């Protein structure tokens, strides 16, 4: 094994090296999951309680109090399906953007491909997602939507890829920025809050008639990913041209985010 250490150079993702370090990705993910619910009384039950409480809250406010119309899909199912992907995005962004700072003590002392840190922080949110998906399927069964399950599962991989690419791109971009400017620690939660309202999670796209919002939905890959999943549940045909657009945008997010991360990474140990 021969390699060269030289001054900062041009951007390139070293996939072979990432593969070499795959066990470390596993261990970091495993650590994040283990530590997450330590010293809580309910422990891992929070993974289920958190979305369930939100669904109840939103259903009560928007369906009961404001009687929002969500077509053939019952409001609780509507909001739950939205939260399912949204949770990947919001908690992924949250943990990825803080990941470089919270692992600064390791970054300063040991070398490994730095991308491993945002990668594993997003992987750990996928574990929560899997559990919540199981819960969602149970809820679908309770509502008697037996025929919805298979189409939803078939469309899920596409929705998931779009969501993950977006989350990972934005997450690693913010992770790198956070090393340089700690302000982002305060900006990110606010930004996520704003994005929650700019994504059709608690209200359907059809209920909005403002043109600017229509454009935002088009450019928001997570919005399209959620709509795609819902079309599976509803049995309506997906709008494939929108899905393609969302995929392209998410890929762009991914490439820009990772490129920025790689460019900044060379100075992490000097800055953090």
Of 15, 16, 23, 237, the residue at the interface with other proteins (CB under 8 A) is 23
Cα 85 from Cα 199, distance rounded (Å): 11
The yes or no reply on residue 102 touching other proteins (CB under 8 A) is no
The yes or no reply on residue 190 touching other proteins (CB under 8 A) is no
Q: What is the 3-state secondary structure (H, E, C) of 202-269?
A: CCCHHHCCCHHHHHHHHHCHHHHHHHHHHHHHHCCCCCHHHHHHHHHHHHHHHHHHHHHHHHHHCCHH
Least distance from other proteins to the Cβ atom of residue 3, Å: 6
Cα 210 from Cα 17, distance rounded (Å): 48
Least distance from other proteins to the Cβ atom of residue 271, Å: 7
The yes or no reply on residue 111 touching other proteins (CB under 8 A) is yes
User: Interacting stretch for other proteins, rule CB under 8 A, among 110-118, 119-127, 141-149, 240-248?
Assistant: 110-118
User: Interacting stretch for other proteins, rule CB under 8 A, among 30-38, 41-49, 193-201, 224-232?
Assistant: 30-38
Q: At what angle do helices 184-197 and 149-180 cross, to 10 degrees?
A: 150
Considering CB under 8 A, how many residues would be counted as binding other proteins?
Answer: 35
Alpha-carbon dihedral angle through residues 193, 107, 7, 15, given to the nearest 10 degrees: -70
Lookup: tokens for 240 = 């494939």
Of 1, 65, 194, 210, the residue at the interface with other proteins (CB under 8 A) is 1
Cα 229 from Cα 160, distance rounded (Å): 9
Mask: binding to other proteins, 216-255, rule CB under 8 A, as x and -?
Answer: ----------------------------------------
Least distance from other proteins to the Cβ atom of residue 183, Å: 4
The yes or no reply on residue 12 touching other proteins (CB under 8 A) is no
Please name the residue that has the structure tokens 């593969």. 19
Cα 265 from Cα 260, distance rounded (Å): 8
The yes or no reply on residue 53 touching other proteins (CB under 8 A) is no
Question: Which CA distances in Å does 5 have to 18, 20, 259, 267, 271?
Answer: 17, 18, 20, 14, 19
The yes or no reply on residue 46 touching other proteins (CB under 8 A) is no
User: Interacting stretch for other proteins, rule CB under 8 A, among 50-58, 130-138, 175-183, 188-196?
Assistant: 175-183
Least distance from other proteins to the Cβ atom of residue 12, Å: 14
Of 62, 127, 180, 191, the residue at the interface with other proteins (CB under 8 A) is 180
Residue 200 · residue 122 · CB < 8 Å? no
Contacts 24+ apart (CB under 8 A), 212-216: none
Q: What is the distance between the terminal CA atoms of the chain, rounded to a whole angstrom?
A: 30
Quick one: 25 or 164, whose CB is closer to other proteins?
A: 25
Alpha-carbon dihedral angle through residues 187, 126, 36, 57, given to the nearest 10 degrees: 70
Of 12, 15, 39, 146, the residue at the interface with other proteins (CB under 8 A) is 39
Quick one: 30 or 213, whose CB is closer to other proteins?
A: 30
Which residues of the chain form contacts with other proteins (CB under 8 A)? Answer: 1-8, 23-24, 27, 30-31, 34-35, 38-39, 103, 105-112, 180-184, 266, 269-271
């Amino acid at each position: 094994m021969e390699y060269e250490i030289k001054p900062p150079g041009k951007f390139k993702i070293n996939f072979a090296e990432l593969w070499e370090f795959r066990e470390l990705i596993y261990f970091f993910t495993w650590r994040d999951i283990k530590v997450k619910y330590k010293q809580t009384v309910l422990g891992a039950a929070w993974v289920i309680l958190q979305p369930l409480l939100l669904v109840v809250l939103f259903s009560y406010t928007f369906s009961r109090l404001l009687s929002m119309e969500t077509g053939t899909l019952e409001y609780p199912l509507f909001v739950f399906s939205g939260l399912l992907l949204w949770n990947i995005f919001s908690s992924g962004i949250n943990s990825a953007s803080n990941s470089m700072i919270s692992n600064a003590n390791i970054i300063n002392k040991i070398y490994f491909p730095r991308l491993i840190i945002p990668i594993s922080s997003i992987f750990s949110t996928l574990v929560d997602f899997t559990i919540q998906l199981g819960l969602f399927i149970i809820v679908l069964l309770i509502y008697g939507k037996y025929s919805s399950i298979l189409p939803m599962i078939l469309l899920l991989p596409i929705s998931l890829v779009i969501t993950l690419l977006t989350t990972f791109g934005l997450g690693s971009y913010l992770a790198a920025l956070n090393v340089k400017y700690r302000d982002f620690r305060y900006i990110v939660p606010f930004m996520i809050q704003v994005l929650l309202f700019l994504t059709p999670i608690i209200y359907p796209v059809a209920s909005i008639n403002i043109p600017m919002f229509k454009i935002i939905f088009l450019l928001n890959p997570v919005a399209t990913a959620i709509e795609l999943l819902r079309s599976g549940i509803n049995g309506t045909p997906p709008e494939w041209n929108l899905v393609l657009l969302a995929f392209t945008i998410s890929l762009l997010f991914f490439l820009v985010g990772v490129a920025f991360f790689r460019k900044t990474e060379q100075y992490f140990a000097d800055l953090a």
